């Protein structure tokens, strides 16, 4: 006994679709767009407040802002197999200032206030993405991972009085690691926002379906360029020409040519080609 379920068959049969492939020019244009956006958005990256704790107590780091920003030497938007995209910001510098406040316990509980300085030199950020679709079949860019690949990020405190040198000497590595993670999150969130606003929004505008008549009209209306007559050869002619060039003359042909050269009239030797 066989049971036929139409819904199962409909799900098994794939829907017709058109595969779109981005060429090199698209990625070059996308890289130019991303470079312009980074140039504008880079100095305006918002860094959220955070809290960092030590054995002696916890401090809150707030009012962070980018005081200076050197643009990346290279900004690229490129394919990354399989079926992914890579945005890279290569070799940029920044200097961040902020405030800290909290309390630490030495012998007694002491309130602390000061300034935080974070510097980044030769930083490179890589963001990996792919294209997914929503439940409404709307394509969008999804960020898979984003991290700081290379570069130096260092943090230090100032204006803490007698505790300044002690904190910098004892907790500089921990503060630098914490600042690196905070800046990585802020930069990657900014990259994600840029891709959603300027790239995913354009993917939304792609038509969900295309009528066959529209495709035919588009193909027929495309400009056609006539090639020069000397720039076109039939494949068979090319093959025959190459075969003739590669084949040496036979021995009988060489003998006939030599005999023709020996025959002459009035003592003048004439070279006659016999095919």
Dist CA 70 CA 230 (whole Å)? 54
* pLDDT for the residue 192: 92
Per-residue confidence (pLDDT) for residue 233, from 0 to 100: 42
Between 115 and 109, name the one with better pLDDT: 115
Torsion angles phi and psi, residue 12, rounded to 5: -75, -35
Contacts of 190 by beta carbon, 8 Å cutoff, 6+ apart = 41, 45, 46
**Residue 27 CB neighbour total at 10 angstroms:** 15
Amino acid 188: pLDDT: 94
Residue 157 half-sphere exposure toward CB, CA atoms < 13 A: 28
- Residue, of 133 and 116, whose pLDDT is higher: 116
Residue 212 confidence (pLDDT): 72
Res. 25 pLDDT band, cuts 50 70 90: confident
Residue 160 has pLDDT above 70, yes or no: yes
Record the pTM. 0.68
Under a CB-based contact definition with an 8 Å cutoff, are residues 87 and 126 in contact?
yes
Q: What's the CATH number of domain 21-204, 3.40.190.10, 3.90.1640.10, 3.15.10.10, 3.40.50.300? A: 3.15.10.10
Average of per-residue pLDDT across 100-107? 85
Q: Is the pLDDT of residue 240 over 60?
A: no
What does the angle CA 199 – CA 125 – CA 58 come to, to the nearest 5 degrees?
115
What backbone torsions phi and psi does residue 193 show, to the nearest 5 degrees? -65, -40
Give the model's pLDDT for residue 229: 47
Share of the chain above pLDDT 90, in %: 40
Give pLDDT tens digits for 191-215.
999 998 888 877 776 666 677 777 6
Q: Give domain limits for the chain.
A: 21-204
Average pLDDT over residues 161-165: 87
Q: If you average pLDDT over residues 129-151, what whole number do you get? A: 88
């Amino acid at each position: 006994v066989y049971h036929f379920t139409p819904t199962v068959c409909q799900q098994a049969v794939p829907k017709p679709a058109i595969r779109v492939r981005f060429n090199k020019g698209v990625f070059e244009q996308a890289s130019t767009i991303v470079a312009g956006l980074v140039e504008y958005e880079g100095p305006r990256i918002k860094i959220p407040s955070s809290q960092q704790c030590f054995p002696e107590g916890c401090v809150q780091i707030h009012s962070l802002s980018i005081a200076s920003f050197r643009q990346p030497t290279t900004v690229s938007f490129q394919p990354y197999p399989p079926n992914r995209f890579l945005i890279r910001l290569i070799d940029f510098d920044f200097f961040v200032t902020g405030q800290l406040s909290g309390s630490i316990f030495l012998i007694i509980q002491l309130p602390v206030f000061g300034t935080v300085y974070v510097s980044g030199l030769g930083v490179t950020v890589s963001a990996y993405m792919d294209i997914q679709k929503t439940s409404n079949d709307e394509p969008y860019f999804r960020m898979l991972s984003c991290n700081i690949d290379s570069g130096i990020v260092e943090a230090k405190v100032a204006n803490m009085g007698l505790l300044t040198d002690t904190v910098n000497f004892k907790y500089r590595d921990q503060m630098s690691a914490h600042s690196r993670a905070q800046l990585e999150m802020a930069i990657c969130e900014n990259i994600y926002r840029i891709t959603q606003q300027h790239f995913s929004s354009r993917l939304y505008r792609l038509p969900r379906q295309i009528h066959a008549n529209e495709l035919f009209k588009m193909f027929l209306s495309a400009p056609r360029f006539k090639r020069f007559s000397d720039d076109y050869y039939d494949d068979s002619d090319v093959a025959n020409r190459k075969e003739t060039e590669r084949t040496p003359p036979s021995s009988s042909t060489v003998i006939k040519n030599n005999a023709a050269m020996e025959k002459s009239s009035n003592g003048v030797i004439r070279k006659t080609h016999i095919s």
